[in-house]
Amino acid sequence: MPEGHTVHRIARQLSTDLVGRRLAVSSPQGRFAAGAGRLDGQVLVSADAVGKQLFCTFESGDVLRVHLGLYGAWDFYGSLTPLTEGSFAVGSMGAPRLRRAVRMGEDEREDPAAEGGLVSFPPHPVGQVRVRLASTETVADLRGPSACEVLDPGGAAAAIERLGPDPASTDDLDRAGGVMVDRLTSRNVAVGQLLMDQSVVAGIGNIYRAELLFRARLDPHTPGRRVPREVARALWDDWAVLLADGIRTGVMITREDLSAAQRESALTDPALRHWVYHRTGEPCLVSGDPVGVEEMAGRKLYWCPGCQV
């Protein structure tokens, strides 16, 4: 499932290339025809991410809310502005070409089928495109989201209110961190589960959960009420740092022990990025104990029984 940094990058791409433009909005697969018809022909006013959810506000006040879920992704075509630190995906450098597709989802990557040849623009929708947002120069296609709906301003505000704080969506990190600490330390639920609860803190998924807990050397089974407030606050502060780095690079690198050269290699080699995630049975990079895995909150939890005690 795409984690918070990916959704923030999608919001930035939309903000850069589609906000302020009058859009043709359609539903090529037909499942979102009514919602698309409601938005069609309007100017996109803003695109904002809160946690794993995207909120695109149009001139009427209508808001397109999207949650990518496990399988959702956006494909971008046409005239595109490179995001910070190079281009749209790691290893993609230089100006985009017409008919280049850039996928932003669980793994950001360029579409190899887009290489070479002259094609018309906009490209014909391929596959199950739920929503197409199109200007005269740029197209964004949404596929496979778990949630896609049009809300009025009150409905959008209510959806955001249900979410926990997001370091990248607040102007007051200190206050937002206090909210997260209060919610986490007031419940008798394992901290490894609470970090995945989007009403406690927004944007953390399976990778960031495992890595944040390891970096804090915190047992994921510890009830929230038994987590010292200063430790909970340190989790928030660390999340803010990791999220900002992920937004900037498009890659989740959670090992703080890497040299500059190793970090550069980690941008293209996932095996170098994490302390415990996807390292079941391998020796912990700190203690040497085998990394364990178990089910928690419906997802695989990776942790080191030797370090996280």
Residues with catalytic roles:
2-3, 52, 299
- For residue 122, is the peptide bond before it cis, meaning its omega torsion is within 30 degrees of 0? yes
Helices 229-249, 4-17: crossing angle, 10 deg rounding = 40
Per-residue exposure over 224-238, b if at least 16 CB sit within 10 Å of its own CB, e if not: beebeeebbbbbbeb
239 Cβ contact list (under 8 Å, min separation 6):
167, 201, 203, 204, 208, 212
At 241, list the tokens. Answer: 């740092």
Three-state DSSP at 255 gives coil
> In Å, what is the CA distance from 32 to each residue of 81, 132, 260?
28, 10, 46
Cα distance between residue 307 and residue 288, in whole Å: 9
Picking from 220, 164, 167, the residue whose alpha carbon sits closest to that of residue 192 is: 220
At 120, list the tokens. Answer: 């018309």
Strand-strand pairing, 53-58 and 138-143: unpaired
Three-state DSSP at 161 gives helix
Q: Please tell me the total number of residues recorded for the chain in this structure.
A: 309
Which amino acid makes up residue 50?
A: V
Classify residue 180 as exposed, middle or buried by CB count within 10 Å of its CB (0-12, 13-18, 19+).
Answer: buried
